[in-house]
Homo-oligomer: A and B are copies of this chain.
C-alpha cells in the first residue's frame, strides 16, 4: 500500500530553494502553503480536472498524463495574458489498477516527470497537493499574475475587430483519431498536439495591449467562439479557407474531416483572440518572435450569430452547422 505522505514527498515536493525563489514562503508539508503575491498585480486563478477515459485514454503514457493535466490548466492563464507562478495538484489515483507497487511507482515517477518538466518550463512552482484513492483523475489549480488593467478577457470584442488564432487547429482531434488507430509514437506531430499540448503563455503575455478579447480553444473553435461572442455580444463571420490546419491533418483525414476537426474537434489549446485591424501586424510580429503564427480567420460583426464565407459547403460536412448560425452562447 502506497502511503499518501510518502508519495507526495517522493514525487511532488518542489525543492525548497526553487520554491523560495518563486515567492513560496512555506512550501508543501504544512496544512497550507504560504505564497507572496506581487503588489500591483491581479491574481488569476483557474482549476481544471482531467479524468481518465474522459479527457485522456487510460493507456496514455504517464508522462503525457502529467504534462497534459497541467497544460490544459495553464492554457486558461495564457488566455488571460497572465504569467503563471504556482499550481496545486490533486491526484486521485487507483493503485489497484497496477500489477504491483513497483508498477504503480513507475507510473507515478513518469507522471511526475511529465508534470514537473512542464511546470519548470513555465516557472510554475508546485505549491501544494493532495493524493487520494479512487478513479484516476487530476485536478490542477493554477495561479498566475497579470498587471492590474492588462488582463485579456472574453467580453470586450467589438464589431469590426479581426478574429485570429495562434498556431494551428484540428491537431487535438487529429491526434485522438491517430491514437484510436493505434499510433503510439509521441514523436508524431499530431499525437503530440493531442497528448502534449503547449499552453500559449508567452503568446498571451505578448498580446497584452493588442488583443481586445481572448480565450483558449479547448472545446473547439465554434463552441469557444460562441462563448466569446456571447460574452462580448458580437457576431462573427469566419472564412473556412483561412483556418490554419495542423500539419499533416488534411493528408490524414481529407479536407472535409480536417475542417471539421478544426471547427469542432477541441483539445487544441490555441488562443482565440480579437484585435483591431491596425494592430494585427504588430501582434503577428510579436508572436513570430516566439516562433508562433497568428492567423486571421474572420471578423466580428453586429449581427449576433456566425456565418461563413462558404456557408453552402460548410452545411454539407459539418453536422449541426445550421444550428450554429443561431447560437447565442449555449454550450455545445
Contact = CB atoms under 8 A, between A and B. Distances in A.
A141 B32 contact: no
Interface string A93-122: 000000000000000000000000000000
Interface stretch (A35-43, A186-194, A251-259, A293-301): A35-43
Nearest to A25: B42
Interface in A35-74: 35-37, 39, 42-52, 54-55
> Main SS of the interface on chain A?
strand
Given A6-B330, A132-B51, A34 B137 contact: no
A39 B40 CA distance: 9
Contacts of A76: 31-32
A244 interface: no
Nearest to A77: B32
A51 B155 CA distance: 35
Given A5-B331, A51-B133, A46 B31 contact: yes
A228 to B, nearest CB: 10
Contacts of A144: 32
A154 interface: yes
A211 interface: no
A317 B104 CA distance: 34
A245 interface: no
Most interface-central of A35, A37, A52, A82 (chain B CB within 10 A): A37
A80 interface: yes
Contacts of A45: 32-33, 35, 86, 88, 127-128, 141, 143
Interface string A143-177: 11010000101110000000000000000000000
19 contacts: A30-B153, A30-B155, A31-B76, A31-B77, A32-B46, A32-B76, A34-B42, A34-B43, A34-B44, A35-B44, A45-B86, A45-B143, A47-B130, A48-B130, A51-B133, A130-B139, A132-B137, A135-B137, A137-B137
Interface of A: 3-6, 25-26, 29-37, 39, 42-52, 54-55, 75-77, 79-80, 82, 86, 88-90, 92, 127-130, 132-135, 137, 139, 141-144, 146, 151, 153-155, 214-216, 227, 231, 329-332
